[in-house]
Amino acid sequence: MRTLVDLLSNEHGYARIYADSEGYGYELCTYLPRPIADLFARMAGYHSVSAARTAAEHQLSAVYQVRRPRKRSARAAKRPSQQLPHALPI
């Protein structure tokens, strides 16, 4: 049986901090799909509420910090590179 202990939220989603027979844990819920699969949706087995809360805050704050690579346009790819002179005249 799980008992809700705390609730964290920010602009990206929220995390429920809970207590159960194994200790404390959190469940992460984001408002948009997560950009990377390695963010944990649920973690259990923390020995204290503060440890579970710290881990949940870290995961929740990291949800959208991953930068997606920008696609280069075909026009930019075909443009010749601008080269700087090797030596400037004095």
Evaluate the CA torsion angle 25, 68, 10, 58 in order and state its sign: positive
Closest CA to 29 of 43, 19, 18, 14: 14
The C-alpha atoms of residue 60 and residue 10 are separated, in whole angstroms, by 8
Give this prediction's pTM: 0.58
pLDDT category, 86, cuts 50, 70, 90?
low
Token readout for 68 is 């997606």
**Tens digits of per-residue pLDDT, 1-29?**
889 999 999 888 899 999 998 899 999 88
- pLDDT over 70 (residue 84): no
**Tens digits of per-residue pLDDT, 60-76?**
887 766 555 556 655 65
The C-alpha atoms of residue 46 and residue 83 are separated, in whole angstroms, by 56
Closest CA to 62 of 28, 86, 87, 24: 28
Q: 62 near 38, Cβ under 8 Å?
A: no
